[in-house]
């Protein structure tokens, strides 16, 4: 389901959330839960831009991997 276009109607009804670690320059992503339970993700610097949609299971796998340090090597 990732990469599906999102209508402006749905985009404006969602409650978007940034990480508490977001910096003032806005270099972060925002996430919102869809009525279906899927998770929408967008770039906070481009709120009218592309929205990627992932299943809850896909987001759980990513967050779990991030907590485990699986992606730390990309930040060096």
Domain with 39 in it: 8-75
Q: How far apart are CA 64 and CA 66, in angstroms?
A: 5
Judge whether 66 lies within some domain.
yes
pLDDT computed for residue 76 by the predictor: 85
Judge whether 17 lies within some domain.
yes
Judge whether 67 lies within some domain.
yes
Query: What is the pTM assigned to this prediction?
Result: 0.78
pLDDT computed for residue 13 by the predictor: 83
Q: How far apart are CA 42 and CA 66, in angstroms?
A: 18
SS3 content of the chain, % helix, strand, coil (to 5): 30, 20, 50
Overall domain count for the chain = 1
Judge whether 2 lies within some domain.
no
Judge whether 3 lies within some domain.
no
- Tokens coding 19: 């990480």
pLDDT computed for residue 23 by the predictor: 77
pLDDT computed for residue 2 by the predictor: 46
Residue ranges in the chain whose pLDDT is less than 50: 1-4
Check if the beta carbon of residue 31 is closer than 8 Å to that of residue 39.
yes
Judge whether 28 lies within some domain.
yes
């Amino acid at each position: 389901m990732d990469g599906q276009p999102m209508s402006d109607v749905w985009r404006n009804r969602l409650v978007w959330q940034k990480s508490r670690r977001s910096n003032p320059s806005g270099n972060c992503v925002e996430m919102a839960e869809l009525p279906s339970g899927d998770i929408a993700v967008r770039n906070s610097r481009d709120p009218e831009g592309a929205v990627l949609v992932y299943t809850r299971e896909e987001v759980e796998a990513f967050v779990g991997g991030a907590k485990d340090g699986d992606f730390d090597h990309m930040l060096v």
